[in-house]
Amino acid sequence: MRVIAVTGTDTGVGKTVVTAALAAIHLSLGRTVAVVKPAQTGVAPDEDGDLTEVRRLAGEVSLYEGVRLPDPLAPDTAARVAGLPLPTLREQQELVGSVAKEHDVTFVEGAGGLMVRLGEGYKLADIVAPYNARWVVVARAGLGTLNHAELTVASLLTGGQDVAGVVIGSWPEHPDLAEEQNYTDLPRVTGVPVLGRIPENASALPVRVFRRGALNWVPNL
């Protein structure tokens, strides 16, 4: 089994579309793929969330959600505001472990950035700690991304994590000077490679185009 943790340098950087692209790549190689979302916030009980979008874009992946909370806040805050319980760290770890045993590749997608609390006193790194996870960091293209990406990767490396590299979650059709230079500088400042770039608005593409494109968007997986 292989566990890949997908985190971001911030909220809204494109983690879900990157997870979908990576899942599509592994599906194309004939592997069984699962995606675990330990905490989904800002969605109603009967509303489609990030996992539904991953399956729509990537194909037949198995989906598992640890907890769903109605307010668009950090999970521990959303649970407190709603007066709802959160899974324990052990429950989240056991979910990932049981899913990983039955699939070739299991993606565990966090919420927001690396340091966001997904439960009472635990983060994404705590959930995947027993499974020798490989990490993918999703970053923005524009100004500020060098600082955010370097801080995120440094925190992971300091914690002894295996960081595969950075994926830019939304790459514009006509990048400006800052975006072009950020793409060049990210490997230098983070110490890990840029694995690829997802085109801006890729989730709006026909799914067949998205799945074919994923192979070229993240060529260094």
Which tens digit of pLDDT belongs to each residue from 79-132?
999 999 999 999 999 999 999 999 999 999 999 999 999 998 999 999 999 999
Q: Indicate the number of domains in the chain.
A: 1
pTM score: 0.96
Q: How far apart are CA 96 and CA 108, in angstroms?
A: 8
Confidence at residue 171, expressed as pLDDT on a 0 to 100 scale = 98
Residue 207 has pLDDT above 90, yes or no: yes
Residue 220 pLDDT level (bands cut at 50, 70, 90): confident
101 catalytic, yes or no? no
Residue 1 pLDDT > 90, yes or no?
no
Quote the pLDDT of residue 149.
Answer: 98
Q: How confident is the model at residue 195 (pLDDT cuts 50, 70, 90)?
A: very high
Give me the pLDDT at residue 142, please.
96
pLDDT band at residue 45 under the 50/70/90 scheme: confident
- Across the range 7-36, mean pLDDT stands at 97
Domain span including residue 24? 2-217
pLDDT, tens digit (0-9, with 9 covering 90-100), for 63-87: 999 999 999 999 999 999 999 999 9
For the record, the structure tokens of 48 come out as 């489609």
DSSP character for 122?
B
- Tokens representing 142? 């524009």
CB 14 within 8 A of CB 169: yes
Give Cβ neighbours of residue 4 (< 8 Å, ≥ 6 apart). Answer: 22, 105, 106, 107, 108, 133, 134, 135, 136, 164
pLDDT above 80: residue 221: no
The two beta strands, 33-37 and 40-41, are: unpaired
Query: Which of 15, 37, 101, 123 is the catalytic position?
Result: 37
- What confidence tier does 33 reach under pLDDT thresholds 50, 70, 90? very high
Q: Where are the beta strands (DSSP E) in 53-183?
A: 62-65, 68-69, 105-113, 134-139, 162-171
CATH, residue 72: 3.40.50.300
Q: Residues 6 or more apart from 27 whose CB is under 8 A from it? A: 33, 58, 59, 60, 61, 211
Average pLDDT, the chain: 96
pLDDT at residue 46, rounded to an integer: 84
Quote the CA–CA distance of 14 and 28 in Å, as a whole number: 21
What integer pLDDT is reported at residue 44 of this predicted model?
87
Mean pLDDT of 131-149: 97
* Residues present in the chain in total: 221
Helix (H, G, I), strand (E, B) or coil at 34: strand
